[in-house]
Chain A
């Protein structure tokens, strides 16, 4: 079976700095793969190389069996970094311009993709009046315009509120059900964990994990998680957390605690049982990402 996407020793150097360093992976047709890594890890550079926008310093990429840049990119839809449009054109005219540029896109298809991302009502407004969420949805519509067989999406839910993130996720699920191969990057695992089956993790330009999400999640069970807590009496909260044997840090009225993952579910009830009125508890996402990355580094496959 031909792979939909192949990266073969992709490397991009800027002077002596390797933004992407010898990255190789293969993605089968119809697969939905998450591309995870912190900001600056090399995700966008890798996606740009696969989209034919920048030339690798060495190595090669193929999409749908043909080298990029090349004609196979006509079957690729992309959202790379911030969604960009001609602000003086309406949403519909931006799609029409892209359709003309690509060729072979029927006018009805524009209505279809606008309906798919629920943008029909705003289609006649100039893009300069769009919110970030509307721009993201219009960018997805544009990426789908020519019925691509491969989607390369770079942080598609960046800057969106939870409702917007859920909408984008739903849209991508619907796209994936049609057999489109999707490579979607994020620096927040929680954003893509409900969407993808496989994770590629990259850090400092090197691929450090390539495997199923389940393996990553299983390994994460042994992690220590950080929670940020708020209580009516922060001092009492801090004392109770110490009594429970948790590493604790206090900053003004917020208390940060480190708790083993297996005890996380009971954290709030334990504190309440200790007489603390907890008013807010939030998992520290960034810390979770750090923990994942530490984990995947340990699991890094041989180069």
Chain B
């Protein structure tokens, strides 16, 4: 246990002295809510007094975007809809710092003599990545709320919102990030070239899932043909058709994507009837959280076992 604590202290010391940590924090804590606030202000100034706001729809939209709750929700949802997502970018940067640079600077030979318990070393590094991500998420929510509070002085917004649910989603997204951390650590550790490792983290899941989707769309599983006869024989068609629901990227951001239909419905409100399921399908947020949690736990176990096993047997050349 003490070895683990020592690694956590040492790696936190390192992370806090790395400029990129503060660049990420600046982008997430400052830029994103500031953009939300500016958009909210522009919408309100340009449309607030127009006929479009007769039913109060613009006020509602501004509340959705630029209120403390709205900005905090955007701080959670926004990063999940980039490609690659901001979450995986941040995770990969920490993987590069905590794992890739040890090889790049030939530091494993020093680290593993100062702290020969390899399990503690890897567990400590994972913990530091999770702590850093937790800090960034917490800071993102706090800064969004703070800027939203400032926005209340010049926008028709207030503190209302489902804060408890949102806090739960933040916590869940943080927990889900463990799988991403294990995945990124594994690939950055396995690839001798750190850049290649990072690129793989960004694009491998999407590539594999895309290939599968192309196969499913062009060849399919029914009717029987030369390419799927095997699957037909072993009667796995249904399972294979279900596979996209188990894809990494379909599940990794489920908590962050969960509020998107509520957000869009809010934006369109003023009352328009938008079937929530349709929005969810469109934006890839149809996966339920319990399902996603199970899938991500499975991936985490698989990535974790391979990572710790490879690291324990690694020869530091």
Residue positions of A touching B, CB distance < 8 A:
48, 51-55, 69-71, 73-74, 76-78, 80-82, 84-89, 93, 96-98, 100-103, 142, 146
Chain A residues near B112: list those with CB within 8 A: 52-53, 69
In the complex with contacts A54-B317, A101-B111, A69-B116 CB distance below 8 A: yes
> Chain B 287-317 against A: per-residue CB contact (8 Å), 1 yes, 0 no?
0000000000000000000000000010111
> In the complex, are the beta carbons of B316 and A102 less than 8 A apart?
no
The residue among A70, A81, A88, A101 with the most chain B CB atoms within 10 A of its own CB is: A101
Judged by a CB distance under 8 angstroms, whether B18 is at the interface is: yes
Chain B residues near A100: list those with CB within 8 A: 6, 9-10, 13
Nearest-neighbor residue (CB-CB) of A55 within chain B: B315
Residue positions of B touching A, CB distance < 8 A:
2-3, 5-7, 9-10, 13-14, 17-19, 101, 105-118, 313, 315-317
> In the complex, are the beta carbons of A52 and B109 less than 8 A apart?
no
> In the complex, are the beta carbons of A51 and B113 less than 8 A apart?
yes
Give 13 A-B pairs besides A77-B113, A84-B106 with Cβ atoms closer than 8 angstroms. A52-B112, A52-B113, A78-B109, A78-B110, A78-B113, A85-B107, A86-B14, A88-B17, A93-B13, A96-B13, A98-B114, A103-B5, A146-B114
Chain B residues near A74: list those with CB within 8 A: 116
Chain A residues near B117: list those with CB within 8 A: 71
What are 28 A-B contacts with C-beta separation under 8 Å? A48-B109, A48-B316, A51-B113, A52-B116, A53-B315, A54-B316, A54-B317, A55-B315, A69-B112, A69-B118, A81-B109, A82-B106, A84-B105, A84-B106, A84-B107, A84-B110, A86-B14, A86-B105, A87-B105, A88-B17, A88-B18, A89-B17, A96-B13, A98-B10, A102-B115, A103-B3, A103-B5, A146-B114
> Complex: how many Å from CA A18 to CA B221?
52
Of B7, B19, B105, the residue contacting A101 (CB under 8 A) is B7
Chain B residues near A93: list those with CB within 8 A: 13, 17
Of B14, B110, B111, the residue contacting A89 (CB under 8 A) is B14
> Complex: how many Å from CA A88 to CA B105?
11
Chain B residues near A55: list those with CB within 8 A: 313, 315
> Complex: how many Å from CA A84 to CA B101?
11
Chain B residues near A97: list those with CB within 8 A: 10, 13-14
> In the complex, are the beta carbons of A51 and B17 less than 8 A apart?
no
- The smallest beta-carbon distance between A57 and chain B, in angstroms, is 10
> Complex: how many Å from CA A74 to CA B112?
10
Chain A residues near B111: list those with CB within 8 A: 101
> Complex: how many Å from CA A211 to CA B118?
36
> In the complex, are the beta carbons of B17 and A85 less than 8 A apart?
no
> Complex: how many Å from CA A55 to CA B312?
10
Chain A residues near B14: list those with CB within 8 A: 86, 89, 97
- The smallest beta-carbon distance between B84 and chain A, in angstroms, is 25
> In the complex, are the beta carbons of B106 and A76 less than 8 A apart?
no
- The smallest beta-carbon distance between A84 and chain B, in angstroms, is 4
Chain A residues near B107: list those with CB within 8 A: 84-86
> In the complex, are the beta carbons of B2 and A51 less than 8 A apart?
no
Chain B residues near A86: list those with CB within 8 A: 14, 101, 105, 107
> Complex: how many Å from CA A81 to CA B106?
10
The DSSP consensus for interface residues of chain B is helix
> Complex: how many Å from CA A84 to CA B17?
18
> Complex: how many Å from CA A58 to CA B112?
21
Chain B residues near A101: list those with CB within 8 A: 6-7, 10, 111, 114-115
> In the complex, are the beta carbons of A71 and B13 less than 8 A apart?
no
Nearest-neighbor residue (CB-CB) of A82 within chain B: B106
Nearest-neighbor residue (CB-CB) of B121 within chain A: A101
> Complex: how many Å from CA A80 to CA B107?
11
- The smallest beta-carbon distance between A215 and chain B, in angstroms, is 33
Chain A residues near B109: list those with CB within 8 A: 48, 51, 53, 78, 80-81, 84
Nearest-neighbor residue (CB-CB) of A154 within chain B: B109
In the complex with contacts A88-B18, A93-B17, A103-B6, A73-B116 CB distance below 8 A: yes
Nearest-neighbor residue (CB-CB) of B5 within chain A: A103
> In the complex, are the beta carbons of B110 and A142 less than 8 A apart?
yes
> Complex: how many Å from CA A77 to CA B116?
12
> Complex: how many Å from CA A53 to CA B315?
6
> In the complex, are the beta carbons of B315 and A98 less than 8 A apart?
no
> In the complex, are the beta carbons of A103 and B317 less than 8 A apart?
no
> Complex: how many Å from CA A87 to CA B117?
25
Nearest-neighbor residue (CB-CB) of B316 within chain A: A53
- The smallest beta-carbon distance between B101 and chain A, in angstroms, is 7
> Complex: how many Å from CA A70 to CA B7?
17
> Complex: how many Å from CA A53 to CA B115?
11
Sorted from nearest, which 6 A-B pairs have the closest CB atoms? A100-B10, A84-B106, A54-B315, A53-B316, A101-B10, A73-B116
> In the complex, are the beta carbons of B313 and A71 less than 8 A apart?
no
Nearest-neighbor residue (CB-CB) of B20 within chain A: A88
> Complex: how many Å from CA A80 to CA B230?
54
Nearest-neighbor residue (CB-CB) of A84 within chain B: B106
Chain A residues near B10: list those with CB within 8 A: 97-98, 100-101
The residue among B105, B108, B109, B113 with the most chain A CB atoms within 10 A of its own CB is: B113
- The smallest beta-carbon distance between A182 and chain B, in angstroms, is 15
> In the complex, are the beta carbons of B315 and A76 less than 8 A apart?
no
Nearest-neighbor residue (CB-CB) of A146 within chain B: B114
> Complex: how many Å from CA A98 to CA B102?
13
> Complex: how many Å from CA A87 to CA B107?
11
> Complex: how many Å from CA A103 to CA B3?
8
- The smallest beta-carbon distance between A59 and chain B, in angstroms, is 15
Chain B residues near A96: list those with CB within 8 A: 13
> In the complex, are the beta carbons of B316 and A73 less than 8 A apart?
no
Chain B residues near A146: list those with CB within 8 A: 114
> Complex: how many Å from CA A101 to CA B114?
6
> Complex: how many Å from CA A255 to CA B149?
85
